[in-house]
Amino acid sequence: MRFFTAGESHGSELTAIIEGLPAGLAISADDINQELARRQTGYGRGGRMLIEKDKVRITSGVRHGLTLGSPLTLVVENKDWKNWTEIMSSEPVSEKVKKMRRLTKPRPGHADLVGGIKYRFSDLRNVLERSSARETTMRVAIGAVAKQILSEVGMTVAGHVINLGGIAADVPDYLSVAEIKAISDNSELRVVDSSVEVAMKDLIDQTKQAGDTIGGIVEVRVDNVPVGLGSYTQWDQKLDGKLAQAVVSINAFKGVEFGVGFEAGKLKGSEVMDEILWEKEAGYTRQTNKLGGFEGGMTNGMPIIVRGVMKPIPTLYKPLMSVDIDTKAPFKASVERSDATAVPAASVVLEAVVATELAQAILTKFSSDNLEELIEAVHQHAAYVKGF
């Protein structure tokens, strides 16, 4: 399974092509749209969410509700395109149009300046349009398809916010992945700890009033994970490594950890390793899950626990100083639309990205030309692991 995305923030549409899906997988636009709607919710979102009500069109790879095994194409129209038809035209335009919404003042912390230097653009809008977090729309659409694959083999994925602007949310150990998903889906902040919601909302309101932004930490958990996804045999086959790359590829994500994560640097080995247990009914399990479901770059059958840290959004209504690339004079950085925070929505994006990597790992390990074939292979593997 592989995928590509295409499209600009203010272009006519966003596109994704997914290749390598099993035939016979139930896919509907409604299911994908539910995931897209989740991405657009969350306390602290800005004006773009009022414009774009994302809806997907499936233009290839599905017939009568089931995948064909051929490439799946997903398209999401940008509703705001009507206001940008000349500015973002793919056809040659006049010099007057070229100067409209031209960007020469790069925003600190964004791709604007570095991208302009790399591709030799005199208009930094050429960078902004693709580097925008609008691209995560298609990552979520792809993740919706990936989640369907995982669901068919009994895996559940749940994302939630564990820290927003320094305010930490408590996550009780007894909560299952399904319970975390249900609770966070009913929270504007996507937290499972209702006691911190008022404080988080107050912080978002204060930050917005100050023209600033805040980041946070989001977590994804996955249960019923087959043993042995990934491999220790080559560096680029380690699944936790692939997940780490995928997480940091999300706009504004700056770090990733599994299980106890960076706390492992402060603990002794006896406090980090998960003791191995065996029971006739359950087979091999672990006493704890401090390694977050991974050993040697492979899944060990315990729930996957992965976290990502999102920096504050770099577009500020109280902008920082920058330099005009034309005149080299100091200026306050340009402002597009911005959110005070997008951390709750980021948990939805992280869900999608993690689900996509896991779906790729599932389809790599198991025979999967057809969905029935895949399900049978996963069940046979589970029986083998239990009897090992």
Question: How many other CB atoms are found less than 10 A from the CB of residue 6?
Answer: 14
Question: How many other CB atoms are found less than 10 A from the CB of residue 122?
Answer: 12
Question: How many other CB atoms are found less than 10 A from the CB of residue 81?
Answer: 14
* pLDDT for the residue numbered 50: 54
In the beta sheet, which residues pair with residue 340? Answer: none
Band (46; pLDDT cuts 50, 70, 90): low
Give the 3-state secondary structure of residue 62: strand
* pLDDT for the residue numbered 47: 56
Residue-by-residue DSSP string for 338-358: --S--HHHHHHHHHHHHHHHH
- What pTM does this model have? 0.95
Give the Cα separation of 114 and 308 in Å (integer): 24
Average pLDDT over residues 149-161: 98
pLDDT tens digits, 303-318: 999 999 999 988 777 7
* Amino acid letter for position 274: D
Kindly list the structural domains of the chain, giving each domain's residue range(s) and its CATH number in brackets, ordered by start. 2-386 (3.60.150.10)
pLDDT tens digits, 165-224: 999 999 999 999 999 999 999 999 999 999 999 999 999 999 998 888 999 999 999 999
Give the Cα separation of 204 and 212 in Å (integer): 9
pLDDT tens digits, 47-106: 555 556 899 999 999 999 999 999 999 999 999 999 999 999 999 999 999 999 999 999
* Amino acid letter for position 114: V
Torsion-angle region of 107 (φ positive above 0: left; ψ -120 to 50: alpha; else: beta) = beta
Asked if 296 contacts 229 with a C-beta cutoff of 8 angstroms, the reply is: no
At 75, give phi and psi (nearest 5°): -130, 130
At 239, give phi and psi (nearest 5°): -70, -35
pLDDT tens digits, 336-387: 556 889 999 999 999 999 999 999 999 999 999 999 999 999 999 999 999 9
